[in-house]
Chain A
């Protein structure tokens, strides 16, 4: 564990000022964890937390960390679910929350230049009066920051139609592990050389710290229609989902919630979700008024063909927001069902959705757990929500076993380990399920190119022990032997 020297705090204060350095145990406690589940991800204490206000300060802290031989962990709002903002090896947490200015909104080019601490929803709220919005809308958007969205390549319900964060980042100002400040990408297309912006988005804070983001804004649609379709069971609803996708319809969002979820959200928000429904689909269409009406009719037909019992539609803002409330605030309502939950994130091909959801049910029964489903059905991005009580003996173990089984199933049928939450610490040891040693070596090559000293967010992404000195030396040796005939 990297310990701090007496001069570290003094040095940090000199760079960012006293009010931007936290070093007392009480203050540091809050930064020991993020949104990840304690037990699935271990908490850890940083040596210090700094809250810079400028790019120069971030760069100076990075250089200082290097001088003190300490790792650096960037942090946004700390809503991440895979442990990305937890300082597993101590060191300095750089919290970007005070860099929260929207620097520029350009409606002609539909771009916005923002600091990393800008809250996702607040960006869209600022641009909507001008007829544009920032499309990636993770469920945590009231709290999460753009910097965090970049680090995790965040998605959200609307990425079905609009894509994920990487489709909306035009350029980044980053502080590299060397302390150098670099702009990747830009306002004009056709940048020369390797797409460093692409490498940085979704890099989980391991390659650079974002100090400015130039993002694409999306024109606000002319019309929006939200539909709530209720089905007798999950199976019928999931078949409706695959049918909608197969019909060549691309809704703006296509979400599913099962009965267990409805039991939590309906009493909480009274959005009108039928309490006796096996599952509901929340479907949003947007575009030209005529298109929205026509597509809505097509979707309604498909839903009815797959057994929808009732279908409600809303076009007015207040009604639409109420229907969405049940989905967006689902996690907040889970406390009604259980004191603890573990929100999973996995993706499967859409044609495998019905089978996967059946399997989730089996895992729940086999492990004697309640698992709620509230997720982005349209792109096969599941979020099984395992309910448990930490105080009850054996609950945590059962949840971890069930998690392992569930993830394994999803990977086996051609899915991915993570759709939006990232790998972090949470799933690092599963990486070998999907990537070979050679595949990991290519990723290590990218890491080494940006961060040869390995000081940005260590102990994330790569399997335990993969990046540590001895292992690297062994690998280097193996590589040299393999290519011995032309060893330098």
Chain B
């Protein structure tokens, strides 16, 4: 049974819901309730030559290359418990299937947080967030889950569940496997649970927003903020369509008096028309903004990410805009000048396809250090490595894949270099 190209969100355990990955559906969906069960399913799949995709909340199912083959889905929905949370220790151990917003709610009761911007927090799971390595604009000030991981438990096709790291914030006991699994797209094992160091929640926050008629003007203001003492939690420039207007957003967090002082400074960089939002209004704005960066696509549009060194952001953005105009129409652009990243939604129209997409990606690669196709209509990914050219050290990566998953059970073909 094949479904139309598109993404369907996986439902919580027990409900009947069509689940498709890159246009392919009709999978058997398993709902294991504990790590050893996951491992058993994987070992069984290995024995039978089957391919498995781990699925959490299904919010980024379209990320990655077309699967080489896929027979079964393992849902982490039932691995959603809080295993250990000691507010006094600022550490948390939680099941991979827990929804991010549920985790945040728990932590906020104690004035703590897992500092991460998530596009669809009520559906994205901890395991999925680790495996995809995706993080929104506040990674500028808070880092990513890579910086917060202190331990992990993973189920393997060998039939075992292994753990690495622990429950303390400093640990040099063996190779850093937790960070190796981060961003590995479920191709080395299925994350069963993870341990994090958590942080005190910011006491207060304010965001300063200003609109500019030109991209140049917006980027200039943003780069001034970047070079200042402000050290914002997030710094974004965004616009719809090549002709703007362009919005600059600066997010500041800390003690209320300090934030108010810094916000005033931000307003001097952004100009007299700057608007300031504080507290929950600020949080809401960023929640809404991050949601727009969800890894999905429409019938004829794609989502790309270009990165370079941060000081080259303006140049990269301008060149990307020109390149995009040659291939399609810009829908929306999200620039992170502090990070050297540009997220772009482009409409390639009905004449879009593999060649057009590949051509756009290759042109962009001349103007950015890295280009990733985060989302695209599945037929357009045919034969394309969305992650870019094979990365350096690919031999070692292949060895790792062969060691952890010799029978290519886990998400075969979906990761870089079709690993």
A and B: interacting chains = yes
Seen from chain A, the residues whose Cβ lies within 8 Å of a Cβ on chain B are 106, 108-109, 111, 152-153, 155, 159, 163-164, 166-167, 176, 178, 180, 182-184, 186-196, 198-199, 201-203, 207, 219, 222, 242, 245-246, 248-250, 287-288, 290-291, 294, 347-351, 376, 379-381, 414-423, 431, 434-436, 438-439, 441-443, 445-450, 452, 461, 479, 482-483, 485-486
The reply on B160 being an interface residue by CB < 8 A is yes
Select from chain B the residue with minimum beta-carbon distance to A421: B172
B305 and A416: CB pair below 8 A?
no
B86 and A431: CB pair below 8 A?
no
The reply on B17 being an interface residue by CB < 8 A is no
The verdict on A442 contacting B168 (CB below 8 Å), with A182-B393, A193-B387, A350-B90 known, is no
B172 and A422: CB pair below 8 A?
yes
Q: A150: shortest Cβ distance to chain B, in Å?
A: 11
A203 and B175: CB pair below 8 A?
yes
A483 and B43: CB pair below 8 A?
yes
The verdict on A191 contacting B179 (CB below 8 Å), with A416-B166, A439-B164, A449-B399 known, is no
Distance, CA A306 to CA B147, complexed state (A): 32
B176 and A202: CB pair below 8 A?
yes
A195 and B396: CB pair below 8 A?
no
Interface positions, chain B 124-149, Cβ under 8 Å from A, are 143, 146-147
Interface positions, chain B 24-57, Cβ under 8 Å from A, are 43, 46-49
Question: Per a CB cutoff under 8 Å, which of B143, B168, B171, B177 touches A443?
Answer: B177
A419 and B305: CB pair below 8 A?
no
Distance, CA A251 to CA B115, complexed state (A): 18
Distance, CA A461 to CA B269, complexed state (A): 52
Report A-chain residues with C-beta under 8 Å of the C-beta of B90: 245, 350
Question: Per a CB cutoff under 8 Å, which of A187, A290, A416 touches B261?
Answer: A290
Question: Per a CB cutoff under 8 Å, which of A167, A184, A449 touches B403?
Answer: A449
Interface positions, chain B 376-413, Cβ under 8 Å from A, are 387-388, 390-397, 399-400, 402-404, 407
Distance, CA A242 to CA B89, complexed state (A): 8
Sample (21) of A-B pairs whose CB atoms are under 8 Å apart: A108-B311, A167-B143, A188-B369, A190-B307, A192-B388, A193-B387, A194-B188, A199-B176, A246-B88, A288-B254, A291-B255, A347-B168, A347-B169, A349-B168, A350-B90, A414-B168, A416-B173, A419-B172, A435-B164, A438-B160, A448-B399
Distance, CA A288 to CA B167, complexed state (A): 32
The reply on B229 being an interface residue by CB < 8 A is yes
Report B-chain residues with C-beta under 8 Å of the C-beta of A347: 168-171
The 6 closest A-B CB pairs, nearest first, are A248-B200, A198-B179, A449-B399, A188-B369, A445-B403, A192-B416
Seen from chain B, the residues whose Cβ lies within 8 Å of a Cβ on chain A are 43, 46-49, 86-91, 111-112, 143, 146-147, 154, 156, 158-164, 166-177, 179-180, 182-184, 188, 199-201, 227, 229, 231, 254-255, 257-258, 261-262, 305, 307-311, 339-341, 368-370, 372, 387-388, 390-397, 399-400, 402-404, 407, 415-417, 419
Report A-chain residues with C-beta under 8 Å of the C-beta of B407: 486
Distance, CA A246 to CA B418, complexed state (A): 46
Report A-chain residues with C-beta under 8 Å of the C-beta of B184: 194-195
Select from chain A the residue with minimum beta-carbon distance to B91: A349
A198 and B146: CB pair below 8 A?
yes
Report A-chain residues with C-beta under 8 Å of the C-beta of B229: 219, 222, 288
A379 and B199: CB pair below 8 A?
no
B171 and A418: CB pair below 8 A?
yes
Report A-chain residues with C-beta under 8 Å of the C-beta of B49: 486
Q: B47: shortest Cβ distance to chain A, in Å?
A: 4
Select from chain A the residue with minimum beta-carbon distance to B387: A192
Known: A176-B396, A442-B154. 9 other contacts (CB 8 A): A188-B308, A190-B341, A201-B176, A288-B254, A349-B86, A417-B173, A445-B403, A483-B159, A485-B47
A436 and B162: CB pair below 8 A?
yes
Distance, CA A436 to CA B36, complexed state (A): 15
Report A-chain residues with C-beta under 8 Å of the C-beta of B403: 445-446, 448-449
Q: How many A-B residue pairs have CB under 8 A?
A: 251
Report B-chain residues with C-beta under 8 Å of the C-beta of A449: 396, 399-400, 402-403
The verdict on A193 contacting B170 (CB below 8 Å), with A350-B90, A450-B396 known, is no
Distance, CA A391 to CA B171, complexed state (A): 34
B341 and A350: CB pair below 8 A?
no
A290 and B258: CB pair below 8 A?
yes
Report A-chain residues with C-beta under 8 Å of the C-beta of B199: 250
The verdict on A194 contacting B180 (CB below 8 Å), with A176-B396, A486-B46 known, is yes
Distance, CA A291 to CA B203, complexed state (A): 12
B168 and A193: CB pair below 8 A?
no
A219 and B176: CB pair below 8 A?
no
Distance, CA A462 to CA B396, complexed state (A): 20
B400 and A250: CB pair below 8 A?
no
A199 and B180: CB pair below 8 A?
yes
Select from chain B the residue with minimum beta-carbon distance to A351: B88
The verdict on A423 contacting B172 (CB below 8 Å), with A192-B416, A288-B258, A442-B164 known, is yes
Max chain B C-beta neighbours (<10 A), residue from A199, A248, A442: A442
Distance, CA A436 to CA B403, complexed state (A): 18
Q: B35: shortest Cβ distance to chain A, in Å?
A: 11
Report A-chain residues with C-beta under 8 Å of the C-beta of B175: 199, 202-203, 207, 443, 446-447
A196 and B88: CB pair below 8 A?
no
Report A-chain residues with C-beta under 8 Å of the C-beta of B308: 187-188
Distance, CA A178 to CA B161, complexed state (A): 31
Q: A206: shortest Cβ distance to chain B, in Å?
A: 8
Q: B408: shortest Cβ distance to chain A, in Å?
A: 12
Report B-chain residues with C-beta under 8 Å of the C-beta of A351: 86, 88-89
Report A-chain residues with C-beta under 8 Å of the C-beta of B392: 182-184
B171 and A193: CB pair below 8 A?
no
Select from chain A the residue with minimum beta-carbon distance to B307: A188
The verdict on A188 contacting B231 (CB below 8 Å), with A198-B146, A198-B182, A419-B170 known, is no
Distance, CA A23 to CA B257, complexed state (A): 64
Report A-chain residues with C-beta under 8 Å of the C-beta of B255: 290-291, 294
The verdict on A414 contacting B166 (CB below 8 Å), with A189-B339, A245-B88 known, is yes
Report A-chain residues with C-beta under 8 Å of the C-beta of B391: 191-193
The verdict on A445 contacting B404 (CB below 8 Å), with A187-B369, A193-B387 known, is yes
Q: B411: shortest Cβ distance to chain A, in Å?
A: 13
Report B-chain residues with C-beta under 8 Å of the C-beta of A479: 158
Max chain A C-beta neighbours (<10 A), residue from B200, B390, B400: B400
Report B-chain residues with C-beta under 8 Å of the C-beta of A436: 162-163
B200 and A190: CB pair below 8 A?
no
Max chain B C-beta neighbours (<10 A), residue from A155, A347, A436: A347
Report A-chain residues with C-beta under 8 Å of the C-beta of B188: 194
Distance, CA A419 to CA B416, complexed state (A): 33
B111 and A193: CB pair below 8 A?
no
Distance, CA A180 to CA B176, complexed state (A): 22
A379 and B89: CB pair below 8 A?
no
Distance, CA A153 to CA B176, complexed state (A): 9
Report A-chain residues with C-beta under 8 Å of the C-beta of B416: 192-193
B397 and A159: CB pair below 8 A?
no
Q: A6: shortest Cβ distance to chain B, in Å?
A: 34
A442 and B46: CB pair below 8 A?
no
Report B-chain residues with C-beta under 8 Å of the C-beta of A176: 393, 396
